[in-house]
C-alpha cells in the first residue's frame, strides 16, 4: 500500500486546490465537487436499481463506478492521481492509503469486475480474465449453482454491503475535501494576469 491516507492528507491540508471554472475539462478533471456529484449520482442509480430488484450485474456495475469516482476524487484531493487509468477499486483504495478489510477487498474486486464485464464487454474475453472472475467468486463463497446459502453475505455486492463501503469511503472523501480550500479561478490566472 502507498503512504497512509493520513500522511497524504497532512501533506496537502490547508493548501489551495485551484479549479479553473472557464476551462470545462479542467473543472471536470479537478473539481472536487464535480467528483462528489458524479459519484453521488451513480450511487443513487445503483441503490434504485438494487432496491427495485433490477439486474444484479448492472447494480454492481453502477455501485463500482460510484466508488471508483469517489476514490479518484480522493486521489485528486490528495494531489495524488493514479498513474494509470484503470478500474481496480482495491488498487485505488491502496493508492490513496485507505485500509480495507478482507471482506471489503473482495467486494471491491467483485465490483471492479462488474465495471469491466457489465459495462464494457458482455463477458470476459480471455482465459486469464475468466480465471480472475472465478477466483473472486470463490472468495465470495460462491460455488457452482445459484444457491443463496452458498454466498458469504459480507462479500456479496448488495445494497447493504454497498452502503457500508460507500459510507466509509465518503467519510474519507469528506475529510479530504474539508482539508482543502477549493478556489474558483480562471484560465488567465495561470498566466499571471
- In this structure, what CATH number is given to the domain that contains residue 62? 1.20.120
Continuous segment of H or E residues that includes residue 130: helix 127-139
Q: Are 100 and 93 in contact (CB under 8 A)?
A: yes
Q: Which residues pair with 184 in a beta bridge?
A: 19
Write the pLDDT tens digit of every residue in 95-115.
999 999 999 999 999 898 888
* Angle (CA) 76 35 153, round 5°: 100
Task: With respect to residue 7, please indicate whether it lies within any of the assigned structural domains.
Answer: no
Q: What percent of the chain has pLDDT over 90?
A: 49
Domain that holds residue 168: 21-180
Q: Which residues pair with 19 in a beta bridge?
A: 184
- What pTM does this model have? 0.82
Q: For the chain, what is the domain count?
A: 1
Q: What average pLDDT does the segment 133-143 reach?
A: 70
Grid look-up 478556489 returns 183
Q: What is the CA radius of gyration of the chain?
A: 18
Amino acid at each position: 500500500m502507498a503512504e497512509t491516507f493520513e500522511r497524504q492528507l497532512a501533506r496537502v491540508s490547508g493548501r489551495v486546490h485551484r479549479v479553473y471554472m472557464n476551462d470545462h475539462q479542467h473543472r471536470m478533471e479537478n473539481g472536487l465537487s464535480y467528483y462528489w456529484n458524479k459519484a453521488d449520482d451513480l450511487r443513487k442509480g445503483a441503490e434504485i436499481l438494487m432496491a427495485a430488484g433490477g439486474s444484479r450485474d448492472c447494480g454492481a456495475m453502477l455501485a463500482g463506478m460510484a466508488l471508483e469516482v469517489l476514490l479518484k476524487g480522493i486521489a485528486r484531493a490528495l494531489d495524488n492521481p493514479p498513474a494509470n487509468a484503470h478500474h481496480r477499486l482495491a488498487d485505488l483504495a491502496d493508492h490513496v492509503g485507505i485500509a480495507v478489510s478482507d471482506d471489503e477487498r473482495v467486494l471491491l474486486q467483485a465490483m471492479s469486475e462488474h465495471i469491466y464485464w457489465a459495462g464494457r464487454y458482455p463477458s470476459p474475453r480471455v482465459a486469464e480474465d475468466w480465471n480472475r472472475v472465478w477466483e473472486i467468486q470463490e472468495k465470495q463463497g460462491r460455488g457452482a449453482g445459484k444457491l443463496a446459502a452458498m454466498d458469504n453475505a459480507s462479500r456479496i455486492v448488495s445494497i447493504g454491503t454497498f452502503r457500508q463501503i460507500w459510507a466509509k469511503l465518503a467519510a474519507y472523501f469528506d475529510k479530504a475535501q474539508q482539508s482543502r480550500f477549493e478556489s474558483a479561478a480562471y484560465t488567465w490566472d495561470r498566466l499571471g494576469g
